[in-house]
Chains A and B, each alone.
Chain A
């Protein structure tokens, strides 16, 4: 039975429609015009317990608005949502104990105090007995490699340390459904890897369901087998990441190190030239033409080294949106 069930979900925001300039300002002052902007339209999906699902889309695609509806922060304009058997917008205490939302750009920790103070408050809010709260803090701190940092004012922590402390605060009540909105935003590569490892470990240990948005495809590829792709408020793909790559990237990336430099024109007819840096060549070649193209490359140029890869997923999605292949 699905733990997250979304049917025909929609959300519109009413915003002021003001023309620029003094005339527009005066008209707006005396006769305010409003219009409804749809942010999410007719979105349906369901997620099984324990799944880790990536939620992809460009800025303004409707990812965060959907997450806000799933957590009960905002009321849907249309459709139905059920999370762990609850209707989120009712925000019943038992529902709030079941979920958590981590927003990479926002913090719940008290800025001028050490994270431990915020954790004490969270433990009391969720009614976690003090010895149990201490045990959970120790356990999560160990998983997150946090120690003395928990006793330092939040404002003195690095971004990575702060994010890990935020995760600890968000997971102290052991939620079974995690909504993560850009949890690695702004973190350096090492910190990103640590947060990903922690989330994967948490999912393995607790069987929690995770819905994750991220701009870093590394987060998605490391954690999610399944992705939802949203564009202009509409869901247009729901399936495995691998299938998405296959379906939307009917080509592969061929990288060669050449023994001598060549002009770009020399590679006309060998697929799409992605880059040519010195003697390093990157081509995108359709899967059907792959074998023939590689044979021709090897016979036409002095190739020192050759590798064939799937193109990076962020490139696939970026290309997809640029080409307007969605909708």
Chain B
């Protein structure tokens, strides 16, 4: 246990130092994740809050929370893994007694830590522009919301890791991730809160893991009504499905690994 904690501490601190080298790039990434705030402007401009069965204040809080959740659930493991596999950098990782995905996970967490100041600045700016004018949920809700956001990140990381395993069969597997981008954007709650969806579409969305990645944590974070236990159970169920699938594909993939470029 002590050894694992030390390993986590060292991995995170070194990855954080590495990410700080790219802070300008990370600031741009943070800015590129403004979609929820653009959607907020669109929905507010159209005066459509009522159509979404939300008050204007709830709508503002939801999209601001969706922005925060989106910022801390960005996953790019498929891109880095594909590059590492093609360039031969995966080989040294495979020869160490640590699953390479722990490194990637640490890199993501370190990248999120680097984002914090930029995200806070954007949230503050939007808050001052009026999104927070109608009050904000208590700190306990915030804390719970952030905890669920972390779980949402882990679920998204796991889902993308499963897709990443296609890299063992195809040299350009990242294209698969782009295929998933459209359902992710529309079914996760980034474009509109799930409760505003027509019933059929909502049922379809809830049959996917995407709402757990944005809608559920964002509604929790914004103080909206949520079925906390039901949401956590859904996350656990998807994890129980995806984790063994990932491990299975990992083992099968390693048998195909040709250590290219190494």
Q: Which residues of A line the B interface, CB within 8 A? A: 13, 64, 68, 71-75, 91, 93, 96-97, 99-101, 103, 105-108, 110, 112-113, 117-118, 120-127
Contacts and interface: CB of A to CB of B under 8 A. Distances in A.
Interface residues of B, number: 27
B97 A73 contact: no
B92 A106 contact: yes
Interface stretch (B6-14, B143-151, B173-181, B204-212): B6-14
Contacts of A75: 254-255
12 contacts: A64-B262, A73-B257, A75-B255, A91-B94, A101-B95, A106-B88, A106-B89, A113-B14, A113-B17, A117-B14, A120-B10, A124-B3
B95 A73 contact: yes
A124 B7 contact: yes
A121 B88 contact: no
Contacts of A107: 92
Contacts of A120: 10, 14
Contact of B91 (A73, A117, A121, A123): A73
A101 B262 CA distance: 11
Contact of A125 (B7, B18, B91): B7
A106 B91 contact: yes
A13 B260 CA distance: 11
Contacts of B18: 110, 112-113, 117
Given A112-B18, A112-B21, A120-B14, A100 B95 contact: yes
Interface string B54-88: 00000000000000000000000000000000001
A89 B164 CA distance: 21
Interface of B: 3, 6-7, 9-11, 14, 17-18, 21, 88-89, 91-98, 254-255, 257-259, 261-262
Contacts of A110: 14, 18
Given A73-B262, A121-B11, A103 B97 contact: no
A113 B11 CA distance: 13
What secondary structure prevails in chain A residues at the interface with B? mixed
B92 A101 contact: yes
Contacts of A99: 95
B81 to A, nearest CB: 16
A96 to B, nearest CB: 5
Contacts of B7: 124-125
A126 B257 CA distance: 24
Contacts of B93: 108
